[in-house]
Amino acid sequence: MRLTVTSPAYADAATIPSRYTCEGENVSPPLAVTGVPPQTASLALLLQDPDAPRGTFTHWLVWDIDPHTTHLTAGEGPKGAAEGRNGFGRTGYGGPCPPRGDSPHHYVLTVYAADIRPDLAPDATPADLLGALSGHTLATGTLTGRYGR
């Protein structure tokens, strides 16, 4: 099954406005999710840059999101959810910040609908999250943005 993930800030495959990057306010973009299956126990969110020079870089890692969450405003983390450490070594959102002069990177935000509430440590990695969701993912959806500096 597919979830639909959208943002009023940018369309899929479009440029991410600087407000949501390291050159702007560095706040998470507003998001909307539709098509969540009724048997969903929780949602999870993963924002990654597969174009990073040293391999895929994690910008946001969130799990145990209430399955009735359909919107997030700019700069808002999901209430009651757990947020893991991003590639910058901080908990929460870290905006796109590719090396200067690189071609624009792709930032893939994936939302997962799961039939469980993952019980992960606060320093969980994307591999930990994906392992916990293995066999428990009911639906996924992505929103990809581009950004270069």
**Whether pTM exceeds 0.85:** yes
* CB distance 104 to 98 below 8 Å: yes
Residue 41: inside a domain, yes or no?
Answer: yes
The domain total for the chain is: 1
Residue 44: inside a domain, yes or no?
Answer: yes
| pLDDT tens, per residue, the chain with 149 residues | 999 999 999 999 999 999 999 999 999 999 999 999 999 999 999 999 999 999 999 999 999 999 999 999 999 999 999 999 999 999 999 999 999 999 999 999 999 999 999 999 998 999 999 999 999 999 999 999 999 99
Residue 54: inside a domain, yes or no?
Answer: yes
CATH of the domain at 37: 3.90.280.10
Residue the block writes with tokens 């969450």: 69
Residue 145: inside a domain, yes or no?
Answer: no
- Cα 49 from Cα 47, distance rounded (Å): 7
Residue 139: inside a domain, yes or no?
Answer: no
List all residues 6 or more positions away from 76 whose beta carbon is below 8 Å from its beta carbon.
28
Residue 146: inside a domain, yes or no?
Answer: no
C-alpha Rg value of the chain to the nearest Å: 14
Q: How many CA atoms lie within 13 A of 77 on its CB side?
A: 17
| Alpha helical stretches, state H, the chain | 126-133
Q: Which domain holds residue 75?
A: 4-134
Residue 142: inside a domain, yes or no?
Answer: no
Residue 70: inside a domain, yes or no?
Answer: yes
